[in-house]
Homo-oligomer: A and B are copies of this chain.
């Protein structure tokens, strides 16, 4: 559970920590970034809530911290931001590094059940359990009782599914260009087929936001989900994201605010543009 802080970088009046720890779920050393806003570093009695950002295919914890501009609003609101990696690294599983959309950098936030991936591709357990426990234990300034989650693309899939499966763990959820119905797109079929097997469709449904939201009790617990999708996003055009399927399945379950952003693509430029909105969406629930 010990965390090594390899670098401390000043950012928006707070501190961005470059950390690593040996993770038992993923069976390897995992790197992550943790942004502590100025409110966390100047008064250790005042705990700050945590917003977890799940990144997309090919990313590490660095991309969002460098190009997402989430620190801008997180600093103003007093929210810590956790930037995990997207898969285990260096497990030496044959084929692990062959594709950008499977294996390294593509853990899909699931616990693989199929060999050899089940040996360490346990990103669901890592993100929902081991990593936050590690952070709360190493950083007393972070309040384990106030956590929100959001993400981009594969990380948008991760954020939506993890929130829908654990509504009591997270105060809010939002997503940029999420893979919102992975059972029905090429990326998701490849990932779920590889990590769960082609036949295990029950598992597929358990990690498909569109399937999960159908079972959501919107009367007891009305949703408030913010989703930004760029109309110029090539992966949206290719049918990899399918946010419209999620939107339809979520009807009557509360507020699912899918904002179709004219001209915007799949890049971090889109996230930087709407970063404040997503942090403020989380702040409503984390600080409300």
Q: Which one, B9, B12, B66, B264, contacts A265 given CB within 8 A?
A: B9
* Count, chain A residues at interface, CB 8 A: 25
List 28 contacting pairs A-B, 8 Å CB cutoff, sorted by A. Answer: A9-B265, A9-B267, A9-B269, A10-B232, A10-B261, A10-B262, A10-B263, A10-B265, A10-B269, A10-B270, A11-B269, A11-B272, A11-B273, A12-B272, A12-B273, A13-B273, A15-B263, A16-B269, A66-B66, A66-B67, A66-B268, A66-B269, A69-B69, A69-B72, A69-B272, A71-B272, A72-B72, A72-B272
A10 to B232, CA, bound (A): 9
A11 to B273, CA, bound (A): 6
A67 to B69, CA, bound (A): 8
Best-surrounded residue of A72, A268, A270 (most CB of chain B within 10 A): A72
User: In the assembled complex, which residues on chain B have CB atoms less than 8 Å from the CB atom of A9?
Assistant: 265, 267, 269
Best-surrounded residue of A69, A71, A262 (most CB of chain B within 10 A): A69
A267 to B12, CA, bound (A): 12
User: In the assembled complex, which residues on chain B have CB atoms less than 8 Å from the CB atom of A272?
Assistant: 11-12, 69, 71-72
Contact with B along A182-216 (1 / 0, CB 8 A): 00000000000000000000000000000000000
Integer count of this chain's copies in the complex: 2
User: In the assembled complex, which residues on chain B have CB atoms less than 8 Å from the CB atom of A12?
Assistant: 272-273
**Which A residues, 96 to 115, have Cβ-Cβ distances below 8 Å to chain B?**
none
Does A230 reach chain B (CB closer than 8 Å)?
A: yes
User: In the assembled complex, which residues on chain B have CB atoms less than 8 Å from the CB atom of A264?
Assistant: 10
Given A10-B269, A69-B72, A72-B272; 9 other pairs, CB 8 A cutoff? A9-B265, A10-B261, A10-B263, A10-B264, A10-B270, A11-B273, A12-B273, A13-B273, A16-B269
A75 to B83, CA, bound (A): 27
A10 to B71, CA, bound (A): 21
User: In the assembled complex, which residues on chain B have CB atoms less than 8 Å from the CB atom of A72?
Assistant: 69, 72, 272
Contact with B along A254-288 (1 / 0, CB 8 A): 00000001111101111011000000000000000
Within the complex, the shortest CB–CB distance from A74 to chain B, in Å, comes to 12
Chain B residue, CB-CB nearest to A41: B263
Within the complex, the shortest CB–CB distance from A174 to chain B, in Å, comes to 19
Within the complex, the shortest CB–CB distance from A16 to chain B, in Å, comes to 6
